[in-house]
């Protein structure tokens, strides 16, 4: 589906005429530049590649420099392919006017990384046993992870401690509350994954 690349600005509230506060997220979306058009004859599928965010010339590989030069644009930080666009040419700019207030979108982003966490924080375990009667450092322990005799191994997917967060998360069906075309801003209802300033992808 058609969409845009954006940057999470932060969260705020919008008040309705009745005085009801609605939590929402402000996203700076676009303008995105068309850097490449994928065709069935050449690439095997149809898609539009969009670029967003400025990138330093010295940090851009030579192959990408030529790629952006063809599109007659400056080096971009993020490139994402979308389908569903019609009538676009290389070098065209796509803005937030493709969205309308009241419609629903899917937003993908990288969730906040929380480092190496135990099973209580990572999976919501309740802990083992009581905090008294001789217990020592066992309250937040994971407990048994498998039988010794059979199968004599740990099953794949066992919920254990490990890296938490820092994964691609998609929130579906978020309602667009406002579209500010003059400031390239989209205001959606609710929260989206990622920290302030992180890159997100908005799809119809």
User: pLDDT by residue (tens digit) across 113-154?
Assistant: 999 999 999 999 988 777 778 777 788 888 888 888 888 999
Q: What is the pLDDT of residues 27-70, one digit of tens each?
A: 999 799 999 899 899 989 999 999 998 888 888 888 888 888 88
Which long-range contacts link 30-33 to residues 24+ away (Cβ below 8 Å)?
30/4, 30/5, 30/6, 30/93, 30/94, 30/95, 30/96, 30/184, 31/93, 31/94, 31/95, 31/184, 32/4, 32/5, 32/93, 32/94, 32/95, 33/71, 33/73, 33/76, 33/91, 33/92, 33/93, 33/94
Q: How many domains does the chain have?
A: 1
155: DSSP letter: P
Average pLDDT over residues 2-8: 93
Q: Supply the pLDDT for residue 81.
A: 93
C-beta atoms surrounding 200 within 10 Å: 23
Name the average pLDDT for the chain. Answer: 91
Q: Supply the pLDDT for residue 21.
A: 94
Angle at 56 between CA 54 and CA 58, to 5 degrees: 155
Q: Supply the pLDDT for residue 103.
A: 94
Residue 153 CB partners (closer than 8 Å, separation 6+): 146
Least confidently predicted of 10-14, 55-59, 183-187: 55-59
pLDDT band at 88 (very low <50, low <70, confident <90, very high): confident
Q: Supply the pLDDT for residue 189.
A: 96
Q: Supply the pLDDT for residue 82.
A: 92
Q: Supply the pLDDT for residue 120.
A: 93
Q: Is residue 107 within 8 Å of 199, Cβ to Cβ?
A: no
CATH of the domain at 26: 2.40.30.10
**Percent of the chain with pLDDT strictly greater than 70:** 100
- The bridge status of strand 162-164 relative to strand 115-117 is antiparallel
Q: Is residue 107 within 8 Å of 176, Cβ to Cβ?
A: no
Is the pLDDT reported for residue 156 higher than 90?
yes
Is the pLDDT reported for residue 193 higher than 90?
yes
Q: Is residue 97 within 8 Å of 179, Cβ to Cβ?
A: yes
- Domain with 26, as residue range(s), is 3-203
pTM of the model: 0.83
């Amino acid at each position: 589906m058609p969409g845009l690349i954006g940057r999470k600005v932060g969260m705020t509230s919008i008040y309705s005429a009745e005085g009801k506060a609605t939590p929402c997220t402000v996203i700076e979306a676009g303008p995105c530049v068309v850097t490449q058009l994928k065709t069935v004859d050449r690439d095997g599928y149809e898609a539009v590649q969009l670029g967003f965010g400025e990138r330093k010339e010295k940090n851009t590989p030579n192959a990408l420099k030529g790629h952006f030069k063809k599109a007659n644009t400056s080096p971009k930080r993020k490139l994402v392919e979308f389908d569903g666009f019609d009538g676009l040419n290389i070098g065209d700019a796509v803005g937030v006017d493709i969205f309308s207030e009241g419609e629903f979108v899917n937003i993908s982003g990288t969730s906040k990384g929380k480092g190496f966490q135990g099973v209580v924080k990572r999976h919501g375990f309740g802990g083992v046993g009581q905090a008294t009667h001789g217990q020592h450092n066992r309250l937040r322990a994971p407990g048994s992870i498998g039988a010794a005799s059979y199968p004599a191994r740990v099953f794949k997917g066992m919920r254990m401690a490990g890296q938490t967060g820092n994964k691609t998360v998609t929130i579906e069906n978020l309602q667009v509350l406002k579209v500010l075309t003059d400031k390239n801003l989209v205001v959606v209802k609710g929260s989206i994954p990622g920290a302030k300033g992180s890159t997100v992808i908005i799809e119809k």
